[in-house]
């Protein structure tokens, strides 16, 4: 392989690397600086190519001019980089300092180019190889050259000093390693490589030294951006493995199989070789594109193994969140999703505790449980950004290191803020997806969609918790005030449909839902809206005896919807739901939403009481002028010692129960002119609902 070929390869490799680093996070300060600092090396590779291969003055002069600007601007850029690396320590810089930093190299670069006059000198290959001869012949160029060196050395000294001082900051372990890498490898390589063009080391025999140095710089640069996670490894494999292999394969096949064939076809059939080549390129593309896709998937999985079906898992989980109310149940679900299914290295779910002014884990106990002050630096940064933050990115602007050290010790990679309106209600901390497997932007976008629905559940839980606390406090003060407790329960029932509608709307925002899924969600929104409207009318209206039983409800349809709403909870315990109704429709005089509320209370109580693989059955029958629903399960049943009290307000055998579910259900049925009773039996619990048909 010739020197020219290596230089061409280095030039294109560095150019692609610049694009990858910048495009991975164009808004990130470090990404911008990293990509810009690779530009001078790329320009000097191109200049070396001109010097080594050109035999005319124009390309040589162009190469020297590019290199001059690249080298002179590298060191101001490097000094500017130290303002943000490894932390953004310089908060305010005057415009004058910023302008002066880049104005001086601009003037020096233009002056050096203007004073370098190849026409007035003998620009022979010997002068190119030993440009020092030209410097000595031109005193003005020599003076400008010395001034540029002085400016560069001054900036380099300041840069090294700032980076060394940064080691005293409360850095992450990875940040400290990156700083040491910059000091021990990056700066020496940069200085030696770039000074090569200002002090004009002899090129004869030294071109190989340059190639080794330039290649080492590129490799070290890649290691540095890997250390900070500022490059997409899948894109790296695509640019530097998949595409080159494909290109080499196509060129090989063309030279071995098609070149001679094209010549024969062109001579005998008088078809243009250009047309044949164009046609073959199209055929090659059609053939190799699926192969490239498969190869990219295999190589990408090896370089950066991703969790299985991240997108599918998250979107499937989003639809299941609507049935979750309790915060501990939500925490268990998220831990199971991220730790067991997606294989995330660590996961913590923190909730705001106003009494302690802290964000605390939902799951208490265990070691290394993080807690963060509501007035701490982490919370301030999350309230400012209001988006998922990569710890490497957010650490750049960190001032105090205590909270940052906690995150680093827990191997946290992503910090997810959970906002309800304008209040930060929770924080989720996610580790990496595996060893040296950072999160990439498409994956973070999927997480943004998924976590958008979590604040709705938190708000629903807080509302539910407040309602329970209020009911329990009211029970201690005056147990006979059932009406106030029932009103609170109804108010809670209004919030639930609204929360479900919000969660569904946020899910529909995803553009990848199927048409059938969208129609299903739209139908759920319509039904929940009607439910809210009915409940509001019930609360705002004045009940009278003349309205008793005036509504009509299809019991079969209402029970079908009830079983669909509780189906997710039933599936978790492998509980079967069975509805037996021999009629197309079975109407009764009761409000539909009120009847669904009764059925929901009975269903949820049964699911909680049943063991795995239990069953719940609802049988609908007509008898004379009545409609009867036999609601039963095959669980442990209700002991006789408490059977007579289960309809009493505030009586409950469950830990944390309010004792209002069955009391409210009995009141609803009786207001409709019906009857709700518990049937005696040894196998499970059986409730009989009798309504006017």
Tokens standing for 239? 């640019």
pLDDT, residue 617, reads 93
Beta pairing, strands 587-588 & 615-623: unpaired
* Whether the predicted pLDDT of 200 surpasses 50: no
Structure confidence at residue 26 as a pLDDT band (50, 70, 90): low
* Whether the predicted pLDDT of 620 surpasses 90: yes
pLDDT, residue 517, reads 76
Q: Are the C-beta atoms of residues 49 and 11 closer than 8 Å to each other? A: yes
* Whether the predicted pLDDT of 447 surpasses 80: yes
User: If you search the block for the tokens 């200085």, which residue do you land on?
Assistant: 191
Q: Mean pLDDT throughout 54-72?
A: 68
For 399-512, where are the alpha helices, taking DSSP H only?
A: 402-409, 441-451, 454-477, 482-508
CA pair distance 441, 448, nearest whole angstrom: 10
Structure confidence at residue 176 as a pLDDT band (50, 70, 90): confident
Query: Of 597, 534, 538, which is closest to residue 562 (Cα–Cα)?
Result: 597
* Whether the predicted pLDDT of 420 surpasses 80: yes
Q: Which of 87-91, 106-110, 672-676 has the highest mean pLDDT?
A: 672-676
Q: Is 58 exposed, middle or buried (0-12, 13-18, 19+ CB in 10 A)?
A: exposed
* Whole-prediction pTM: 0.48
* Whether the predicted pLDDT of 547 surpasses 50: no
386 torsion bin: left (phi>0), alpha (psi -120 to 50), beta (else): left
Q: Which helix (H) or strand (E) holds 632?
A: strand 626-633
Q: Mean pLDDT throughout 445-466?
A: 85
pLDDT digits (tens, 9 = 90+) for 326-337: 888 899 999 998
CA pair distance 538, 596, nearest whole angstrom: 15
In angstroms, the Cα distances linking 489 to 475, 485, 539 are 14, 6, 11
Q: Mean pLDDT throughout 435-442?
A: 67
End-to-end CA distance of the chain: 93
Tokens standing for 96? 């004058």
Structure confidence at residue 354 as a pLDDT band (50, 70, 90): confident
pLDDT, residue 120, reads 42
Lowest mean per-residue pLDDT among 14-23, 103-112, 501-510: 501-510
Q: Are the C-beta atoms of residues 687 and 677 closer than 8 Å to each other? A: yes
Higher local confidence (pLDDT), 589 or 435: 589
Lowest mean per-residue pLDDT among 5-19, 73-87, 464-478, 576-590: 464-478
What's CA 681's distance to the chain center, in Å? 53
pLDDT, residue 680, reads 78
Q: Are the C-beta atoms of residues 169 and 179 closer than 8 Å to each other? A: no
* Whether the predicted pLDDT of 484 surpasses 80: no
* Whether the predicted pLDDT of 130 surpasses 50: no
Beta pairing, strands 576-581 & 615-623: parallel
CA pair distance 600, 619, nearest whole angstrom: 15
Average pLDDT, the chain: 76
Task: For residue 86, say if its preceding peptide bond is cis, omega within 30 degrees of 0.
Answer: yes
Task: For residue 602, say if its preceding peptide bond is cis, omega within 30 degrees of 0.
Answer: no
Domains of the chain are 3-231 (1.20.1070), 236-303 (no CATH), 310-442 (3.30.450.40), 467-541 (1.10.287.130), 553-692 (3.30.565.10)
CA pair distance 23, 220, nearest whole angstrom: 20
Q: Mean pLDDT throughout 507-526?
A: 75
* Whether the predicted pLDDT of 528 surpasses 80: no
pLDDT digits (tens, 9 = 90+) for 269-301: 777 777 777 777 677 667 766 666 666 555 555
Q: Are the C-beta atoms of residues 457 and 499 closer than 8 Å to each other? A: yes
CA pair distance 648, 328, nearest whole angstrom: 28
Higher local confidence (pLDDT), 260 or 167: 167
pLDDT, residue 442, reads 74
What's CA 175's distance to the chain center, in Å? 22
Q: Which helix (H) or strand (E) holds 429?
A: strand 423-430
pLDDT, residue 124, reads 40
Lowest mean per-residue pLDDT among 54-58, 175-179, 635-639: 54-58
In angstroms, the Cα distances linking 373 to 356, 380, 402, 411, 651 are 9, 10, 11, 20, 39
Structure confidence at residue 428 as a pLDDT band (50, 70, 90): very high
Lowest mean per-residue pLDDT among 5-14, 330-339, 407-416, 492-501: 492-501
pLDDT, residue 579, reads 93
User: If you search the block for the tokens 């009607």, which residue do you land on?
Assistant: 530
- How many Cα neighbours within 13 Å face the side chain of 333? 22
Residues in the chain: 693
pLDDT digits (tens, 9 = 90+) for 377-405: 899 889 888 889 888 777 766 766 678 87
pLDDT, residue 33, reads 78
CA-based torsion, 220, 224, 230, 232: positive or negative: positive
């Amino acid at each position: 392989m010739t020197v020219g070929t290596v230089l061409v390869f280095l030039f294109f490799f560095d150019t692609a690397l610049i694009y990858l680093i910048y495009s991975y996070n164009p808004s990130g300060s470090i990404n911008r600086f990293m990509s810009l600092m690779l530009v001078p090396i790329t320009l000097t590779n191109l200049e070396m190519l001109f010097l080594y291969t050109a035999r005319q003055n124009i390309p040589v002069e162009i190469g020297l001019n590019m290199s001059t600007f690249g080298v002179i601007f590298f060191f101001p850029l490097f000094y500017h980089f130290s303002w943000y690396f490894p932390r953004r320590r310089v908060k305010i810089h005057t415009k004058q300092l910023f302008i002066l930093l880049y104005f001086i190299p601009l003037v020096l670069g233009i002056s050096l180019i203007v004073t370098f006059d190849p026409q007035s000198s003998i620009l022979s290959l010997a002068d190119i190889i030993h440009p020092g001869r030209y410097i000595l012949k031109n005193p003005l160029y020599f003076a400008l050259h010395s001034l540029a060196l002085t400016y560069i050395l001054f900036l380099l000294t300041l840069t090294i000093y700032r980076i060394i001082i940064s080691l005293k900051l409360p850095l992450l372990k990875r940040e400290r390693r990156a700083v040491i890498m910059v000091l021990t490898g990056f700066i020496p390589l940069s200085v030696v490589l770039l000074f090569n063009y200002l002090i004009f080391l002899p090129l004869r025999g030294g071109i190989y030294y340059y190639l080794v140095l330039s290649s080492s710089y590129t490799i070290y640069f890649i290691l540095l951006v890997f250390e900070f996670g500022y490059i997409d490894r899948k894109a790296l494999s695509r640019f530097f493995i998949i595409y080159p292999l494909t290109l080499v394969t196509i060129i090989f096949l063309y030279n071995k199989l098609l070149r001679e064939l094209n010549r024969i076809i062109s001579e005998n059939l008088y078809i243009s070789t250009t047309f044949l080549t164009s046609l073959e390129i199209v055929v090659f593309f059609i053939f190799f594109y699926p192969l490239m896709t498969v190869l990219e998937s295999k190589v990408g999985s090896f370089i950066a193994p991703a969790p299985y079906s991240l997108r599918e898992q998250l979107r499937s989980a989003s639809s299941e969140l609507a049935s979750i109310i309790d915060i501990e149940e939500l925490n268990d679900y998220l831990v199971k999703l991220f730790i067991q299914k997606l294989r995330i290295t660590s996961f913590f779910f923190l909730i705001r505790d106003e009494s302690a002014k802290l964000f605390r884990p939902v799951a208490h106990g265990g070691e290394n449980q993080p807690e963060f002050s509501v007035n701490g630096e982490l919370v301030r940064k999350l309230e400012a950004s209001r988006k998922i933050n990569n710890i490497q990115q957010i650490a750049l602007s960190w001032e105090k290191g205590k909270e940052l050290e906690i995150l680093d010790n827990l191997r946290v990679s992503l910090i997810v803020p959970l906002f309800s309106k304008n209040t930060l209600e929770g924080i989720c901390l996610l580790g990496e997806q595996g060893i040296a497997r950072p999160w990439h932007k498409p994956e973070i976008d999927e997480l943004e969609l998924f976590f958008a629905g979590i604040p709705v559940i938190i708000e629903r839980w807080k509302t539910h918790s407040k309602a329970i606390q209020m009911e329990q406090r009211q029970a201690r003060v005056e147990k006979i005030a059932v009406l106030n407790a029932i009103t609170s329960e109804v108010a809670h029932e209004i919030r639930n449909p609204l929360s479900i509608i919000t969660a569904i709307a946020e899910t529909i925002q995803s553009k990848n839902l199927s048409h059938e899924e969208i129609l299903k969600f739209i139908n759920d929104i319509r039904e929940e809206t009607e439910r809210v409207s009915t409940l509001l009318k019930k609360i705002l209206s004045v009940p009278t005896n003349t309205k008793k039983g005036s509504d009509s409800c299809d019991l079969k349809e209402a029970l079908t919807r009830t079983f669909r709403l509780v189906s997710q909870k039933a599936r978790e315990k492998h509980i079967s739901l069975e509805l037996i109704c021999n009629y197309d429709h079975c109407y009764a005089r009761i409000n539909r939403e009120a009847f669904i509320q009764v059925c929901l209370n009975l269903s949820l109580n049964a699911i909680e009481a049943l063991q795995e693989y239990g069953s719940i059955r609802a049988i609908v029958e007509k008898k004379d002028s009545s409609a009867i629903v036999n609601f039963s399960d095959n669980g442990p049943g209700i002991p006789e010692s408490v059977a007579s009290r289960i309809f009493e307000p505030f009586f409950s055998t469950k830990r944390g129960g309010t004792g209002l579910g069955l009391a409210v259900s009995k009141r609803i049925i009786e207001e409709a002119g019906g009857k709700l009773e518990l049937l005696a039996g040894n196998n499970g619990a059986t409730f009989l609902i009798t309504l006017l048909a």
